[in-house]
Homo-oligomer: A and B are copies of this chain.
Amino acid sequence: MSTYRSGAGDPARTLQLLWRRLDDGPRRGPRPGRSLDDIVSAAIELADAEGLDAVTMRRVAQAVGVAPMTLYGYLPGKAELLDLMVDALYARLPRPDRAGQPWRTRVAAVARDNRDLFAAHPWAAEVATGRPPLGPGLMAKYEYELRAFDDTGLDDVTRDAALTFLLDFVRAAARSAAEARATRRETAQSEEQWWAANGPLLATVLDEEAYPTAVRVGAAAGAAHNAAVDPDHAYEFGLDRVLDGLAALIDPVAARRSTAADPG
């Protein structure tokens, strides 16, 4: 359990690392035995396999085949490692040419790409980026995703806001999904087991007079999803709302479809 904060160290040094602007002046003494990418790749593999909690400096060092403190010759600290991991992930995202497709299809595809990213690397959604890691990966991602709003008539400021809105939604959904999975794993209880264990107590305590709407709606939603929270359904529903909300801005006349976005 750790709040995976990023970017705490010297920001200028972080930028140099992200863009690999290591000032290699006159070399003296032994050459570095590993590369920055070795470390970042090992950390990503570790996070993919065992989650962000497993990404400790000791574990990463072990994976790289080096003593823990050796890592500090390559990076200032763990915060920078997290930044580098996230930027490396962003750099790998697919960027197919979607010119010619309608904006809603393109924007939905951006959402899906991000969702896939978080599905493959759930830890990425947990890294807090108060100031985002302005590395080559994020820049390429930003450049590409902004193009999804080409021909929407949005001015630049609004275009940025629209993209932020979309990405924040996908990220929040990914966090919810990750939290739900983590809870299920930690308590080693499925949703059914939980209700079997707690239903009786809840029944005595949730009288319908005190919470009539909550009991009725909660029961209906629970029955529909077979769970108290259903991240997948929340994502599908939310994405449609997000796209409709953007459509109200982009196509103010015909903003009336609540169907799911077409595939791309």
Partner-B contacts on A (CB < 8 A): 1-5, 7-8, 11-12, 15-16, 19, 21, 52-53, 126, 128-132, 134, 139-140, 142-143, 146-147, 155-162, 164-165, 168-169, 171-173, 175-176, 179-184, 186-187, 189, 194, 197-198, 201-202, 205-206, 210-214, 216-218, 220-221, 224, 228-229, 233-234, 237-238, 240-249, 252-253, 255-258
Contacts and interface: CB of A to CB of B under 8 A. Distances in A.
Q: Which of A3, A155, A181 has the most CB of B within 10 A?
A: A3
A255 B173 CA distance: 25
A165 B147 CA distance: 26
Nearest to A154: B217
Contacts of A8: 183, 186-187
Given A169-B172, A180-B130, A247-B248, A161 B216 contact: no
Given A8-B187, A19-B201, A245-B248, 18 more contacts: A3-B3, A3-B52, A3-B53, A3-B126, A11-B189, A12-B197, A131-B187, A131-B194, A143-B211, A143-B212, A147-B213, A158-B237, A161-B221, A162-B241, A164-B234, A244-B255, A247-B248, A255-B256
A168 B164 contact: no
Contact of A4 (B3, B187, B249, B252): B3
Contacts of A53: 3
Contact of A213 (B143, B161, B218): B143
Contacts of A155: 220
